[in-house]
Structure 1
Amino acid sequence: MTILRTPSDDDVTGLAAELYAEDRAALGYVPSHTRVTALHPEAVRAFEDLVRAVAHALGTRRYELVTLAAARALGSRACLLAHGRKALSCMTAEELLAVARDHRDAGLDEAEVAMMDFAARLSTDSAAMTEADAQRLRDVGLSDREILDVALAAGARNLYSRTLHALAVEVDDPPGLDPELRDALLAGT
């Protein structure tokens, strides 16, 4: 449940109804986070625009890896499950299972590991970050623009995950997610 009152499926209208319909078409259901954030559908669209811009720049795989690292660092069960499911569009279930268990020992390239480490640090102790954090990304070949995109992706996940936490949004269990993968994604949260 959530601390907010959300409209029933029969009472939702306008842009919020469009958000519901889009999720039904894409996912087969309307997740709890959509029901809550659709109370301000214009903000949802603005957030989606940011995410699309950053995901396009990083590429889907890198965006999802950064998102998963930030969600794990934040203890965001909802985002781990939702983005675990989304990550299956750009990696196999076996690859994702390895990432969920330990991204540093999952066969990722150096840049992907460094990006995930950066996202986790941003999500847990951003005030202590220094030039050295960005330099590690430069050392594995990222440009300053790509470093910004990693920070924006992790920052966006912080915004969304912390909003869901603050509003006590129920964690959905996405249909079709393998139980072993689900458990690995949620381990330690």
Structure 2
Amino acid sequence: MEHMIIQTIPESEATGLVAESYAADRADLGYVPLHTKAMNLNPEALQAFEQLTGAIGGALGTRRYRLVTLAAARGARSAHCRLAHGRASLALFDEDQLTGIALDYRSAGLSDAEVAMMEFAEKVSRDASSMTDDDSRRLREHGFSDTEIVNIALAAAVRNYYSRAVQALAIEVEELPGLSASLHAALVSGL
């Protein structure tokens, strides 16, 4: 059931970029989520966002990008993004590992560098204005290059762009196919 005040483009009326976006989600999820419909009221902006996340994700690598995104979504308290990127992370982690990461990434068997990266990303979402050179210095001490540090900051910040827009529009959080009840609960725990 769709609960949203924003009037979106019905799937039967979608053309161009909107139709392509809807088709991509139908192919991946079997349906078109409400957030996709809402963001497609400006399909050029959505396409630019997807290109930006692709450029950042490509530079970071899939594993790092997913971990940063999960941490940034946690800091932003975004159930939408935690669930979507949790589902996508099942390609990298088994369900038990991912549940551990979702509940407490600090004790989930990740490397010290990955934990530091996730702490940085979560802080970007929670309170970026409090960050200092010490936050970046900690990443450097874990072996991250300046370019990698910038890409971690970009990945976290761009997650906030989408999370905040979806939250601002009060878009309903939908159940995602492919997530067990326990993983779903772990991903939204504490939000």
TM-score (normalised: structure 1): 0.97
Q: Tell me the equivalent position of 1:46.
A: 48
Q: Tell me the equivalent position of 2:190.
A: 188
Report the alpha carbon displacement of residue 2 of structure 1 after superposing the two structures with TM. 2.5
Q: Tell me the equivalent position of 1:67.
A: 69
Cα RMSD (Å) of the superposition? 0.9
Q: Tell me the equivalent position of 1:89.
A: 91
How far apart are the structure 1 equivalents of 2:96 and 2:61?
20
Deviation beyond 6 Å, 4+ runs, structure 1:
none
How far apart are the structure 2 equivalents of 1:152 and 1:26?
25
For 1:33-62, what per-residue CA distance to the aligned partner results, in whole angstroms no more than 9, with x for missing partners?
110001111111111111111111111111
Matches within 5 A, 1:1-189: 1-189=3-191
How far apart are the structure 1 equivalents of 2:172 and 2:59?
31
For 1:71-96, what per-residue CA distance to the aligned partner results, in whole angstroms no more than 9, with x for missing partners?
11111011111110001111111110
TM-score (normalised: structure 2): 0.96
How far apart are the structure 1 equivalents of 2:125 and 2:105?
16
Work out whether residues 4 and 36 of structure 1, in 8 Å CA contact, stay in contact via their aligned partners in 2: yes
Question: How many pairs are equivalent?
Answer: 189
Structure 1 residues not aligned, in runs of 5+ = none
How far apart are the structure 2 equivalents of 1:73 and 1:9?
33
What amino acid does structure 2 have at the position aligned with 1:12? A
What amino acid does structure 2 have at the position aligned with 1:129? M
What amino acid does structure 1 have at the position aligned with 2:178? G
Structure 2 residues not aligned, in runs of 5+ = none
SS of 1:174's partner is coil
